[in-house]
Amino acid sequence: MPGTVRDASGVGRFHGVTLENGVAAPEKEKVVLVKKEGGSHWFRRFCPCCCRTQSSFDIPEKEVEGKEEEKLWNSVPVAFLLPTQHLIKYFLLELTFTVCSVDLLSSKMGQNRKEHHTDLYYSNDLIIRRGQMFQMEIELSRPFCPNTDRLHLELKTGSLPLVSKGTHVIIPLVDELEDNCWEAKIVEQYNKKIKLYVNSPSNALIGKYSLAIALQGTEGEETKTHESGKDIYMLFNPWSEEDTVYMESEDEKKEYVLNDTGRLYYGTEKQIGARTWNFGQFDQDILEACLYILDKSEVLASGRRNPVIVVRVISAMINSPDDQGVLEGNWSGNYAGGTSPTAWSGSVDILRKYYKEDGMPVKYGQCWVFSGVTTTVLRCLGIPCRSVTNFQSAHDTDVSLTTDVYFDENMEPIHHLNSDSVWNFHVWNDCWMARPDLPPGMGGWQAVDSTPQETSQGTFRCGPASIAAIRNGQVYLKHDTPFIFAEVNSDKIYWQRNADGTFCQIHCEKKAVGHFISTKAVGSDKREDVTHLYKYPEDSEEERIAVETAIRYGSKPDAYSSPTADDVRVEVQLEGEGPRMGSDAKLKILVKNLSSHPRKTTLHSQVAVMYYTGVLKGTVKKDKTPVELMPNEDWVLPYNQYQDQLVDQAALMLTLSGRVSETQQVLASQTSFRLRTPDINIKPEGEAVVGKQMSAKITFTNPLPCTLRKVVLRIEGLGLRDLHPIEIGDVGRHATVTVTEHFIPSLVGTRKLVASLDCKQLTQVHGVSDIDVREIAFLFLKANIILHLGEIRFYV
């Protein structure tokens, strides 16, 4: 029975001890303690590490009672006071070699998290990067004896940890650390506590590991394993030269790994728009969500050491058609049951929702949303990554590495054959890594695309493809290089159907796709053009060689025909920043005769509303005009002709075609343009101080001559507030709406408050404001401390 003893020897000495069966304790007797010479010698034989010197404990030989007795008992080691049977049990407990506690030193402000550049992650767990030393402390039941005791660490990851697969790691104690391997060294020892330095190899598996400590007290004794109950998160390490994701520039690492906000570009090549995106890779639940995605992909845990495999898996798992991935794509314009793609302004809400709802795809996404989420996941896992926008982005559907446009005998488009398309913009990702699986020189930036367009090895995914290989037309190198090459550098070939049903090539546009490839600049919100990384200058000898090299590996290696007469040019010009939503769209068609002879043609013009993917919704205006060269003709599209046809991104495509009477030269051109939308204005009010409420005034003006229905304003800001939708309701024609949003900043530094509009009639409306948040001012108090009758009093 707990709290009882079978004799009265312990009664009155130990808290909670009584006699069994309710027997009352006898009257307390006087206690006589006698000093025993050499009393600790026999104990030292049991534990030479604990008792290295003779005991100096001195028990006086005298009678004591009352308070003196109580003081004396409190000063005597408990082992000298226990009855024989309890004495044996006490020493057995002391001699049992066990782990009392484990401290992974995982504080965000501690050395581990700071040195591993993981102090921004929300979690309080130990988050480290592979190939880099970390520290931990272990408290044992007795001091560690290096000569007789044995200790090693065990890490396990995955559902079936195996040493042979690297998912069960044995970390031995060593005398000297050698780096780039699993090893541990005791660097400090204080009484029962030891401090370890632990190394990991630069190719360690990334993921969540459980930690156990194995102990063996003396030779021949059974090894005991202590499960710590604590997890260690291992990430890729761009700061380690031995890691395949190593990136040399500190500024680039700060941008492509540590920056939790960025810019995404959209629109057309002549009207490039930009919006702020909250990547939020360090936010609550995001690391767990990213590892959950890897777990759900069913990729073997042993494959997680290779960034090529991890990126390829993430490319597949961000979309959902064949693996219940993160985002469900929707280009229909009907977003019932979900969120409009243009309403998202960050990745956090998407990933958290996917994680919390057990892997149900989130509705809905389009290319920039897929890219934004991919950037978040890869940066969170430690792979440098950026979102990239390609304007005039081709979608090759038959691996011809050309973009084909088919006309009938009357130069009318044959729509059912025109499966290839040119998106006015498309957003994907670049990620940084070495490529030991490819020939030398193929490392660096790799293109990866999570938007589901075409399958690769049976799954909707794309990349990673070496940008160096894309630039040189080496489309035979993996992964999915032909598709991305066609997106940025395919020629646009026009075909006309003959009377016998065959087709002949009538025109080739060599500069039709891959313009103004854009990403956010390092250290600023400016746009950086990276087209030169993907392709040589247009019409240069190197660029033509790259195209001809690539075509040889396509499905139409003999696509090019003999050159035709080429002395007439057609060009479409936009005035200023281009047409605005709600007003007439004015463009100028310029036809140039470069020859010394007169030229005549019949110019067919057609404008269609299109999705940003290049898929046409419907024709809104069509003309057929005889042209005497050289004209400069203004071409006007009234707002009332396109207002009911608009779709997401408010994009239109103007198609021009014709044949020069004198030379039979074919004129063909397609130009896409967008209708500019207004910005949301955000004006911060009040002091921006951590923990103190402030507000922001948010203003929006409806540019349309009609009422906007069911308008929702979505506001979020990392370190400012979580995603917060505000239902505005209907907004009248040309009306202005102002709302005031209150929030409490939680993080110091320059934070971005982002607002976006969710409305079926008007999309891609957003705004951003930079808010400089300061630390709360410390209140210094002058205190006088007076010691009085054992009290401490503070006077301010």
Q: Whole-angstrom Cα distance, residue 746 to residue 433?
A: 34
The secondary structure of 182-221 as a DSSP string is -EEEEEEEETTEEEEEEE--TTPPPEEEEEEEEEE-STTS
pLDDT category at 95 given cuts 50, 70, 90 is low
What the block records as the tokens of 173 is 């104690």
**Banded model confidence at residue 120, pLDDT cuts 50, 70, 90:** very high
CA distances from 218 to 45, 149, 323, 429, 445 (A): 14, 6, 52, 56, 54
Rounded Cα gap, residues 619 and 405, in angstroms: 17
Confidence of residue 761 (pLDDT cuts 50, 70, 90): confident
Residue 792's pLDDT band, with cuts at 50, 70 and 90, is very low
Torsion of CA 122, 127, 133, 137, to 10 degrees: 90
Percentage with pLDDT > 70 across the chain: 79
Quote the pLDDT of residue 584: 65
Annotated binding residues: 489, 491, 538, 543
pLDDT for 3 beyond 50: no
**Measured between alpha carbons, how far is 761 from 728 in angstroms, rounded to an integer?**
14
| For residue 704, pLDDT beyond 60 | yes
Confidence at residue 23, expressed as pLDDT on a 0 to 100 scale: 43
pLDDT of residue 788: 42
Q: Please say if the pLDDT value at position 497 is more than 90.
A: yes
Of 297-306, 483-492, 588-597, 636-645, the poorest mean pLDDT is in 636-645
| Rounded distance between C-alpha atoms, residue 251 and residue 686, angstroms | 32
What 3-state class would DSSP assign to 796? Answer: coil
Residues present in the chain in total: 796
Region 767-780 average pLDDT:
76
Higher-scoring residue by pLDDT: 357, 54:
357
pLDDT at position 73 over 60: no
Question: Catalytic residue positions?
Answer: 367, 426, 449
What are the residues facing 505 on neighbouring strands? 495
For residue range 32-41, list pLDDT tens digits in order: 443 334 444 4
Mean pLDDT score across all residues of the chain: 82
Residue 399 is which amino acid?
V
CA distance 465 to 443: 10
- Tally of CB atoms within 10 A around 199: 21
Would you state the pLDDT for residue 619?
74
Binding residues for Ca(2+): 489, 491, 538, 543
Lowest mean per-residue pLDDT among 49-63, 133-147, 228-242: 49-63
Residue type, 275: R
pTM above 0.75, yes or no: no
> Looking at 105-179, which runs of residues are DSSP E strands?
126-129, 134-140, 150-156, 168-172
Structure tokens at 787: 């010691």
Range with lowest mean pLDDT among 235-249, 442-456, 645-659 = 645-659
Q: What letter would DSSP give residue 699?
A: E
Indicate the pLDDT class of residue 636, thresholds 50, 70 and 90.
very low
